[in-house]
């Protein structure tokens, strides 16, 4: 059963609106993507396992103190725009390793084209969090997830900032075992596969290209 988590936290909604604004500068855009990723990391890591340890406080000893069990995580941003989400996530899970998958969407066919892949050696042992701010047709994210599954990775989550209904449906249909975390679900795609209202081209806005 596919799981879709939509964030309704006011801080997240406020920052998403600032991100959408065409007058937001590249510097502000980058900072907002980083802050949003950090806020979302809190919920994405909600199911991390804990173990009990013994700790001495200044007044007593407790054997029921809980600490993270140390589950290994790998972040996998989809290049380019996913890169903007890495630092925010790492501020919450600083020991995560980072792999990269390079995909771009062919502007004519809207199909993803792979051009780069470098993953941590022990990635199959890790919980993998795939990052891409935009889930439009779902072609790129679905292909990236399949690419990871083909390498034997079983435990995958997908985190995006803005999703079109078409993309969300596609990923959940192709990968019902992969929970999708999303800050905003928009109205539709336009004829060029851009999310409406969206925020434009995330990679261009993040890196100041056009």
**Is 201 in the active site?**
yes
Q: In the complex with ligand PRP, which residue's Cβ is closer, 66 or 188?
A: 188
Nearest-CA neighbor of 81 among 148, 2, 135? 135
List, as own/partner pairs, every contact residues 185-188 make where C-beta atoms lie below 8 angstroms and the sequence separation is at least 24, other chains included.
Answer: 185/6, 186/162, 188/164
For ligand PRP, the closer CB: 35 or 201: 201
- Please say if 204 is a catalytic residue: yes
Q: Does 202 bind ligand URA (CB under 6 A)?
A: yes
Q: Which is nearer to ligand PRP, 24 or 72 (CB)?
A: 24
Q: Does 194 bind ligand URA (CB under 6 A)?
A: yes
CB 156 within 8 A of CB 148: yes
Which of 131, 134, 143, 156 is the binder for ligand URA (CB under 6 A)?
134
Q: Write down the catalytic residue from 30, 105, 170, 205.
A: 105
Which of ligand URA, ligand PRP, none sits in contact with 138, Cβ below 5 to 8 A by type? ligand PRP
Structure tokens at 151: 């390498």
Question: Which spans of this chain sit near ligand PRP (rule: CB under 6 A)?
Answer: 78-81, 104-105, 110, 112, 132-141, 167, 193, 201-203
Task: Give the footprint of ligand URA on residues 68-97 (CB under 6 A).
Answer: none
Distance CA 114, CA 101 (A): 8
For residue 128, which of 157, 85, 152, 91 has the smallest C-alpha distance? Answer: 157
In the bound state with ligand PRP, the residue whose beta carbon lies nearer, of 17 and 109, is 109
Q: DSSP alpha helices (H): ranges in the chain? A: 10-20, 26-44, 86-90, 139-150, 165-174, 202-207
Which residues are part of the catalytic machinery? Answer: 105, 109, 201, 204
């Amino acid at each position: 059963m596919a799981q879709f988590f939509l964030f309704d936290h006011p801080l997240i909604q406020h920052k998403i609106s600032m991100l959408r604004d065409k007058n937001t500068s590249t510097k502000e855009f980058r900072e907002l993507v980083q802050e949003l990723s950090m806020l979302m990391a809190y919920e994405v890591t909600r199911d991390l396992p804990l173990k009990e340890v013994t700790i001495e406080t200044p007044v007593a000893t407790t054997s029921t103190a809980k600490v993270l069990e140390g589950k290994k995580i790998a972040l996998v941003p989809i290049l380019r725009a996913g890169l903007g989400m890495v630092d925010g996530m790492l501020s919450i899970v600083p020991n995560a390793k980072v792999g990269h998958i390079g995909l771009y969407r062919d502007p004519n066919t809207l199909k993803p084209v792979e051009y780069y892949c470098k993953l941590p050696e022990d990635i199959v042992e890790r919980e993998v969090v795939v990052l891409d701010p935009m889930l439009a047709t779902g072609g790129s994210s679905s292909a990236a997830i399949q690419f990871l599954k083909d390498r034997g990775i079983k435990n995958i989550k997908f985190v995006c900032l803005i999703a079109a209904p078409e993309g969300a449906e596609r990923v959940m249909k192709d990968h019902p075992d992969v929970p999708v975390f999303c800050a905003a679900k928009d109205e539709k795609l336009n004829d060029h596969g851009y999310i409406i209202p969206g925020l434009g081209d995330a990679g261009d806005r993040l890196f100041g290209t056009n």
